[in-house]
């Protein structure tokens, strides 16, 4: 009886504390957060609508890069012979790429270009001696076939990928080359890649970079890869296209692109001050007045991360790096005198602030924290246009890039909200230059490993340690959303509980590690 009375008394005390703190503290704070989140939502909405309008006009007007810039097929010259073709360096940075090294090296060696006008440079930072030996043997095998391929290693991994690319440019034979094409270890260019990109650089001296689109070979592997395809298709079909056609600027994707070496050097070369060395180089080159071209109809095969662990690491790097770069370069961009005021506004506000910072923060803070919390505070109301209409339109504008996956749009919303937890955390780490700001974990590629191991006996799958599958952050957010949903269903008036329950389930699924594929370790 005494314990029951004690419980009632404790409940009463908690209720009293809640009433005393809600009115003077929580209500004003939540109202401010709602206004801030609505403002960020409007920013994102305007950005998406603007780019949607631009892309429609580009399609209607048929503004292809071959029409916007001078582009002519490289013609054979009897007198000049192969010297009519410029020297091209192909760089393939690698790090313990056991599953895919043969694919990338083979594709690079299969490029249609005069053999004496191309140098393939494999930059191997592998720490596994067995893998290192296999990569070296593969290079020797292609060299024996008459391919001009160089196998380069270094004593350390300083600067990670940027350090490897920078070191690769120091070799004496690079001085012969006019252009450098870069392919990550899982990228497989088609044989005509150089024939379709190099003419832009030859005929237009103001162009520094030609970027191709990515084509995902494993997008159907699991639901997680389908979700990634939707997000990345929007990036390539809309963001890259709009940036290229209207401002001649976009962020270099770090691979499947060709640089004019003189422009690369003028911009200061590769720097390892952030984990987005590719974007860093692109911004610096743009500030020197160089232009970029995106060729959307030229696709290069590559692989999406299909394990949740690999995807989380990748998203941390892709979210932390741009925020950190924005902090380092904002003042430099503002002070620059070589580019127009309109282009500076586009780079600072649209490219960096809205897409790399606001988009991540508003997704998590608004839909996973502020909106759920309002169920406890009826004094704070979120207008329907901010809670329903704007996010719905933004979602549809994002999804149109992948029409084959429109029926999966609800899954995409829930998955993106889950990932926004890590993107928001990474964004703040980048802005504040906190602990993991320079963390670089190479995205794991599986190649054919999944197919080879899919036949493994089910008994082998039982060796998974639960600690490796549990993600406490996701579980914590999922529990909070579930609690909010229960309260809203029992006492609230917002009718958010359907969304809250669905979103909490998505967080729980991710929290228990049932996202992506699982590759047996044995």
Give residues with Cβ within 8 angstroms of 296, minimum separation 6: 213, 236, 237, 240, 241
Give residues with Cβ within 8 angstroms of 137, minimum separation 6: none
The pairing of beta strand 207-216 with beta strand 149-152: unpaired
DSSP string, 162-222: HHHHHHHTTSGGGGG-SEEEE--TT-B--TTHHHHHHHHHHH-TTEEEEEEEEEETTTTSS
Neighbours of 153 (CB within 10 A): 15
Instruction: Extract the tokens encoding 421.
Output: 């937890």
Give residues with Cβ within 8 angstroms of 433, minimum separation 6: 324, 327
Neighbours of 350 (CB within 10 A): 20
Angle in degrees, CA 131, 133, 136, rounded to 5: 110
- Pinpoint the alpha helices (H) of 267-403: 277-287, 308-335, 341-345, 359-364, 371-373, 384, 390-399
Are 366 and 45 in contact by the 8 Å Cβ rule? The answer is: no
Task: Tell me the CA end-to-end span of the chain in Å, nearest whole number.
Answer: 57
Active site residues: 125, 278
Are 193 and 90 in contact by the 8 Å Cβ rule? The answer is: no
C-alpha 250/C-alpha 233 separation (Å) is 15
SS3 483: helix
Distances in Å between the Cα of 14 and the Cα atoms of 10, 20, 140, 325, 479 are 6, 10, 73, 45, 20
Which one-letter DSSP state was computed for residue 297? Answer: E
Are 306 and 197 in contact by the 8 Å Cβ rule? The answer is: no
Neighbours of 206 (CB within 10 A): 11
C-alpha 72/C-alpha 83 separation (Å) is 17
Are 229 and 216 in contact by the 8 Å Cβ rule? The answer is: yes
Angle in degrees, CA 220, 401, 108, rounded to 5: 60
């Amino acid at each position: 009886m005494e314990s029951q009375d004690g419980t009632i008394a404790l409940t009463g005390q908690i209720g009293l504390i809640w009433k005393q703190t809600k009115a003077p503290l929580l209500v004003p704070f939540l109202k401010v957060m709602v206004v801030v989140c609505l403002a960020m939502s409007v920013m994102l909405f305007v950005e998406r609508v603007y780019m949607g309008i631009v892309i429609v006009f580009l399609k209607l007007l048929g503004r292809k890069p071959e029409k916007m810039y001078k582009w002519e097929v490289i013609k054979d010259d009897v007198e000049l012979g192969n010297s009519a073709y410029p020297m091209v360096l192909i760089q393939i940075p690698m790090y313990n790429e056991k599953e895919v090294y043969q694919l990338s090296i083979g594709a690079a060696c299969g490029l249609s270009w005069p053999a004496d006008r191309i140098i393939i440079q494999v930059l191997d930072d592998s720490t596994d001696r067995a893998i290192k030996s296999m990569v070296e043997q593969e290079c020797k095998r292609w060299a024996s076939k008459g391919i001009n391929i160089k196998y380069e290693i270094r004593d350390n991994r300083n600067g990670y990928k940027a350090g490897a690319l920078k070191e690769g440019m120091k070799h004496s034979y690079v001085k012969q080359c006019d252009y450098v094409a870069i392919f990550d270890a899982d990228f497989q260019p088609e044989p005509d890649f150089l024939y379709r990109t190099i003419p832009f650089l030859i005929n237009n001296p103001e162009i520094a970079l030609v970027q191709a689109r990515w084509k995902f070979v494993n997008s159907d592997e699991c639901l997680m890869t389908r979700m990634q395809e939707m997000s990345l298709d929007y990036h390539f079909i809309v963001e890259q296209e709009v940036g290229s056609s209207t401002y001649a600027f976009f962020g270099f994707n770090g691979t499947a692109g060709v640089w004019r070496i003189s422009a690369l050097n003028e911009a200061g070369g590769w720097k390892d001050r952030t984990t987005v060395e590719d974007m860093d180089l692109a911004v610096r080159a743009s500030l020197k007045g160089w232009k970029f071209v995106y060729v959307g109809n030229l696709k290069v095969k590559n692989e999406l991360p299909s394990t949740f662990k690999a995807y989380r690491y990748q998203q941390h790097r892709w979210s932390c790096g741009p925020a950190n770069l924005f902090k380092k370069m904002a003042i430099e961009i503002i002070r620059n005198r070589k580019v127009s005021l309109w282009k500076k506004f586009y780079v600072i506000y649209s490219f960096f602030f809205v897409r790399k910072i606001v988009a991540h923060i508003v997704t998590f803070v608004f839909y996973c924290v502020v909106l759920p919390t309002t169920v406890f505070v009826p004094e704070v109301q979120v207008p329907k246009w901010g809670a329903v209409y704007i996010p719905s339109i933004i979602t549809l504008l994002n999804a149109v890039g992948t029409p084959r996956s429109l029926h999966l749009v609800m899954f995409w919303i829930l998955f993106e909200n889950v990932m926004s937890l890590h993107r928001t955390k990474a964004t703040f780490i980048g802005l504040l230059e906190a602990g993991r700001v320079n963390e670089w974990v190479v995205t794991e590629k599986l190649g054919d490993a999944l197919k080879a191991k899919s036949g493994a006996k089910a008994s082998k799958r039982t060796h998974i340690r639960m600690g490796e599958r549990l993600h406490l952050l996701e579980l914590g957010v999922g529990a909070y959303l579930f609690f909010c949903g229960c309260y809203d269903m029992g006492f609230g008036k917002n009718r958010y509980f359907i969304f809250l329950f669905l979103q909490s389930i998505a967080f729980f699924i991710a929290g228990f590690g049932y996202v992506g594929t699982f590759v047996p370790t044995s």
